[in-house]
């Protein structure tokens, strides 16, 4: 088996924790001796053990008294550089040094200031052979949310909407009218479990009265974010129920009432997208889905503050409606979701 094979296995393991480790990266670890996997693990939940100690523990669980001897002959594979600092858990580089791991193969270096080469340096100084940059692009894309937050000081921003076959986004009178089908809705709810937060504007909240939960897919609900400059959304709206925490960006007050957090901002008509993105960064929100309305999405597009767009296109056409946002980017994938087409765009700045 090649180094690439084992790093891909790290990614498979790490993906099991999507949505559960933010703002940490998703990391998997595989420990190999003579071409045989003797232990593996992944970072399962924020604040809990990282991938490396979970993998080492699995070696002891599987091999008992032979574990120490095996680890001294082993190659450890991780998709991201082992940490070198004390955080919520001890440094993973120190764990490998303690058990005298023979060799460590790494996908990406960690851009976080507390690591950023220090883990690799620690390992090398301890006499451990280190190889890095295996499947570098693939590993970086896999942890794109983490890299975006660390390097750009903002969350990874996903735009999501549905449009008709002839390019309409919503009804002119503002009344709710479904565009995409049930399977697309279920997929959208799966996405909500994978990201930290979901954002809408006041008009979408009032007209659609959405719940913004993941009720059609097992998993956590995202943090609900709504922009309501003058606090016009009725308290009977679904976003104020107890099913998830809601943050209301406004110009009136800062307050906390049960699970509803009001955050006051100044001059929301100027640079709103930039202000929201920076506020979310300060709140340790690593990724956000922006679901509308058209004006909110347009502001993020105009500011070029987006990374990925997920657009459902229905087979149905309307006589009239609000035109869909115009997006400049490159399409990476097309999928057929029942009767709807799903197109995935990436921003050119991330190409």
Catalytically active residues, by annotation: 52
Secondary structure of residue 249 in the 3-state scheme: strand
Question: Running DSSP on this structure, what letter comes out for residue 219?
Answer: S
Largest CA distance in the chain: 73
The helix or strand, by DSSP H or E, that contains position 124, with its residue range, turns out to be helix 118-125
Instruction: Say if CB 184 and CB 162 are below 8 A apart.
Output: yes
The whole-angstrom separation of Cα 142 and Cα 31 is 21
The whole-angstrom separation of Cα 158 and Cα 346 is 9
Evaluate the omega torsion of the peptide bond into residue 52 and state whether it is cis, within 30 degrees of 0.
no
CA 317, distance to chain mean position in Å, is 33
Question: Cβ atoms within 10 A of the Cβ of 1, count?
Answer: 10
The helix or strand, by DSSP H or E, that contains position 201, with its residue range, turns out to be strand 197-201
Secondary structure of residue 20 in the 3-state scheme: coil
Instruction: Say if CB 38 and CB 59 are below 8 A apart.
Output: yes
Cα Rg of the chain (Å, integer): 23
83-105 burial: b if 16+ Cβ within 10 Å, else e: bbbeeebebbbbbbbebebbbbb
Phi, psi of 152 (to 5 degrees): -110, 0
Residue 141: CB partners within 8 Å, gap ≥ 6? none
Secondary structure of residue 10 in the 3-state scheme: helix
């Amino acid at each position: 088996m090649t180094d690439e094979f084992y790093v891909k296995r790290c990614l498979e393991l790490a993906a099991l924790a999507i949505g559960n480790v933010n703002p940490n990266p998703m990391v998997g670890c595989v420990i190999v001796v003579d071409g045989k996997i003797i232990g593996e693990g992944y970072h399962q939940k924020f604040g809990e053990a990282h991938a490396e100690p979970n993998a080492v523990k699995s070696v002891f669980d599987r091999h008992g008294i032979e574990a120490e001897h095996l680890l001294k002959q082993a190659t450890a594979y991780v998709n991201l550089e082992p940490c070198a600092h004390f955080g919520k858990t001890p440094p993973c580089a120190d764990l490998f040094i303690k058990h005298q791991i023979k060799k460590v193969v790494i996908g990406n270096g960690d851009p976080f200031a507390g690591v950023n080469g220090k883990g690799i340096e620690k390992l090398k100084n301890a006499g451990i052979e280190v190889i890095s940059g295996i499947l570098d692009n693939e590993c970086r894309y896999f942890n794109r949310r983490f890299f975006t937050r660390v390097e750009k000081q903002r969350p990874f921003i996903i735009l999501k909407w549905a449009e008709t076959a002839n390019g309409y986004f919503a009804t002119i009178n503002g009344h709710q009218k479904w565009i995409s089908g049930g399977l697309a809705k279920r997929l959208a709810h799966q996405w909500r479990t994978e990201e930290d937060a979901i954002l809408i504007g006041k008009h979408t909240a009032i007209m659609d009265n959405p719940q913004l939960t993941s009720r059609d897919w097992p998993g956590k609900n995202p943090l609900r974010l709504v922009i309501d400059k003058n606090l016009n959304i009725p308290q009977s709206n679904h976003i104020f129920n107890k099913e998830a925490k809601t943050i209301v960006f406004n110009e009136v007050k800062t307050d906390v009432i049960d699970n509803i957090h009001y955050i006051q901002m100044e001059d929301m008509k100027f640079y709103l997208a930039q202000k929201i993105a920076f506020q979310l960064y300060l709140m340790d929100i690593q990724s956000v889905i922006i679901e509308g309305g058209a004006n909110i999405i347009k502001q993020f597009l105009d500011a070029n503050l987006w990374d990925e767009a997920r657009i459902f296109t229905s087979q149905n056409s309307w006589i009239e409606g609000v035109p869909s946002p115009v997006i400049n980017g490159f399409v990476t994938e097309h999928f057929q979701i029942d009767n709807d087409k799903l197109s995935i765009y990436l921003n050119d700045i991330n190409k």
